[in-house]
Structure 1
Amino acid sequence: MASASAAAPERLSDSAWSSRYRGATVQDLEPPAALSLNPTDSISVALMSGLERDYTHLTVVDSKTRALLGYISIPNLQSLLEAGRVRPEDPLSAAMTRFQRRGKAYRLITMETPLELLEDFFRGGVPGGPWRQEFAVVTDDRRRFVLGVATVQDLEEFVKRRPA
């Protein structure tokens, strides 16, 4: 498991934005607390909850263990509803994106993760490349608690507020 919270083993991205980070971490983005739902919750509950809080992504956790199972993208959920592929009363499990448990190594993103590493995560490890990930689940160091969700938009807004 790669740890983005420890800067030593990971290379810091040298992007066009690097000079604006100046030691800032995910905590400086002030990500809102995560809203986690269960796979059995209805799609209408997820949609209302996300829209009320102006969240674009909600995490989905196991109702008993609180283990992170996947996420719901509110814009994607709206598209699925409009296309008739899901109904408001359907469970979230019908529309959620499940995290892959095998294959790619999990990249730990914590409140202490430098923004250079967060940008590197969003760009899929390609400095200056296109965005490959829309958001990152922010957890504690042990991955036991979901603390928040950081988005590409959060990073872009941070950069706009910081002079070069």
Structure 2
Amino acid sequence: MSHLEQGVPLGQTIVPQGNGLPPNEDEHAAKLSAWANKYRGATVADLDLPPALSTSPNTSLSSAMLSASSHDYSHLTVLSEETRSLLGYLPISKLKKLFESNELSPNDPVSKAMMSFQRGGGRKYKVITMETELWELEGFFENVGPLATGAVQDFAVVTDGSRKFVLGICTTDDLETFVKRRPA
């Protein structure tokens, strides 16, 4: 029978999940490590994103949709006409569904279909800049790691560090394209 000396720390107790696997924190750490190896220090700037295409809340939905489709964009950012501050975004796939169901018409303003960013509230805005590392960005999309928001994300708005300028929109497709074109 062995005895531990008094005052010797035992370390963290690790309780396995019901299926015998390590706890989720270890799975998250393994994912983050794998992503760091996959991207090898690359940042959002390495994605060579096209400039963001923005619209205003008063633009007609038909004009916004035409702009998005002519540039093959899946999302448009919506900026205030007065302050140029980021108000929200317009998901083009949602817009098509709203037209098909006759919930909106092409002459309606963007404000009727845009998704507004929540001000205040429980969720904190995660700043994604050109210097954000791609492993962090993948974690943002997958809701794992330092940029996790509490929900899986399908795109990220890339801004400058002070969030004054929208520089681009990034999707998981951009990450996949980067991995495919990067030499092993």
TM-score (norm 1): 0.85
Higher mean Cα deviation, 71-80 or 47-56?
A: 71-80
2:80 equivalent in structure 1? 62
C-alpha spacing 1:52/1:19, structure 2 compared with 1 (3 Å): same
Q: Is the 8 A contact 1:43 1:89 kept in 2?
A: yes
**Equivalent pairs, count:** 151
User: Where do residues 1-164 of structure 1 align in structure 2 (5 Å cutoff)?
Assistant: 14=32, 16-102=34-120, 103-125=122-144, 132-164=152-184
Quick one: distance in 2 between partners of 1:119 and 1:12? 13
Q: Which runs of 5+ in 1 are unaligned?
A: 1-10
Moved over 6 A (4+): none
Distance in 1 (CA, whole Å) between partners of 2:132 and 2:161 is 10
Q: What's the CA shift for 1:106?
A: 0.9
- Partner Cα separation in structure 1 for residue 54 and residue 161 of structure 2: 18
The CA deviation at 1:18 is 3.1
The CA distance in 1 between the partners of 2:101 and 2:91, in whole Å, is 15
Render the CA deviation track for 1:59-103: whole Å, top value 9, x for unaligned. Answer: 001100011000001111111111111100000011000111122
2:36 and 2:180 mapped to 1: Cα distance? 13
* SS state at 2:129 partner: coil
User: Does the 8 Å contact 1:81/1:88 carry over to 2?
Assistant: yes
Higher relative contact order (CA 8 A, sep 6+): 1
Structure 1 residues 79 and 66 mapped into 2: Cα distance closer, same or farther (>3 Å)?
Answer: same
Change (3 A) 1:111 1:120: same
- Whichever of the two has the greater Rg, that structure is 2
What's the secondary structure of 2:135's corresponding residue?
Answer: helix
Distance, in Å, in 1 between the alignment partners of 2:73 and 2:58 is: 20
Of Structure 1 and Structure 2, which has the larger fraction of its residues in strand? 1
Structure 2: segments with no counterpart, 5+ residues: 1-28
